[in-house]
Amino acid sequence: MGVDLSALPSGRVTVVESSRRWQGEPSYGYLRVFWWLWLTDGPSVVSVPPGTRDRVRSLVEHIQATGETPDATQIEALKVPINEALATTGYPPVNRIFKGVSFAVNGTLLRCDGEGDILPLTDERYPPVEGLMLPRHCFPDGTCYGKVIDGEVVAVGYAHRTGMLEDRVADLGVETAEGYRRRRYAKAVVSAVVRRITDQGGEGYYGCSPDNLASIATARGVGFVPYGASLMFSDPLKAGED
């Protein structure tokens, strides 16, 4: 984000410029060119590309004053200075908008959810069942665990390779093949990933869409607690940046 989140003033929105907005994250395949985060304990912060802070701040301060999250009209207004900045660097306009909720967990909160046939994955020796993709960007030295049945991976939990605080914060991803859902496999593989990072003194981070109730249930079932909500604009990486 480009700011110490623990030092943010409560009840106010802070806008910071960060060169991180121009840096792609390999496991995602896009730039987070605008990121507004509302923390559960009150503060909020907007991270924007260099040169856009003043224009964005004039917009977000007005939105913050209403006490509501941005509506469609306000989002379109926020995209204007971001798109202008993108144009100056040769990128196309914002192509996706994400609204998300975030959760966090530490070693004290973690509730483990079974270990049978949950294996660390560092390569493709266990193939995925049809319809499931392995997070190859985590091989060989990332953090990845799979539920293996009859020699095939049916669910996988992993930590995205973001290049940011990877030794302290695991940014969780999870996938379960259709036909193997609602069997607690997602909780089991997520627990394994979190257990590894918390055993090393780190914490787990989990984000998803606010209407993805199944994903939220998985996070809460493992012990994650609400951390914040976010609005993000993204743009695809240029060729060769991933």
For residue 231, what pLDDT is reported?
95
The structural domains of the chain, with segments of one domain joined by +, span: 5-102+230-236, 110-223
Length reported for the chain: 242
Q: pLDDT tens digit string along 53-94?
A: 999 999 998 887 555 678 999 999 999 999 999 999 989 999
Cis ω before 140 (30° cut-off from 0):
yes
How far CA 73 is from CA of 15, 29, 77, 83, in Å, comes to 20, 27, 6, 15
At 188 the three-state DSSP class reads helix
CA dist., res. 27 & res. 135, Å (int): 9
pLDDT(170) > 90? no
CA dist., res. 135 & res. 173, Å (int): 9
From the list 69, 116, 98, 101, the residue with the least C-alpha distance to 217 is 101
pLDDT(36) > 80? yes
The pTM assigned to this predicted structure is 0.81
Q: Name the CATH superfamily for 110-223.
A: Gcn5-related N-acetyltransferase (GNAT) (3.40.630.30)
* Contact of 43 with 14, CB cutoff 8 Å: yes
At 7 the three-state DSSP class reads helix
Sign of the CA dihedral with 15 first, then 95, 163, and 157 last = positive
Q: pLDDT tens digit string along 121-145?
A: 999 999 999 999 999 888 888 899 9
Q: Where are the beta strands (DSSP E) in 168-221?
A: 169-176, 203-208
From the list 74, 4, 86, the residue with the least C-alpha distance to 50 is 86
Which of 28-32, 39-43, 55-59, 162-166 is predicted with the least confidence, judged by mean pLDDT?
A: 162-166
**152-159 and 30-39 as β-strands: parallel, antiparallel, unpaired?**
unpaired
CA dist., res. 63 & res. 57, Å (int): 10
Rounded mean pLDDT of the chain? 88
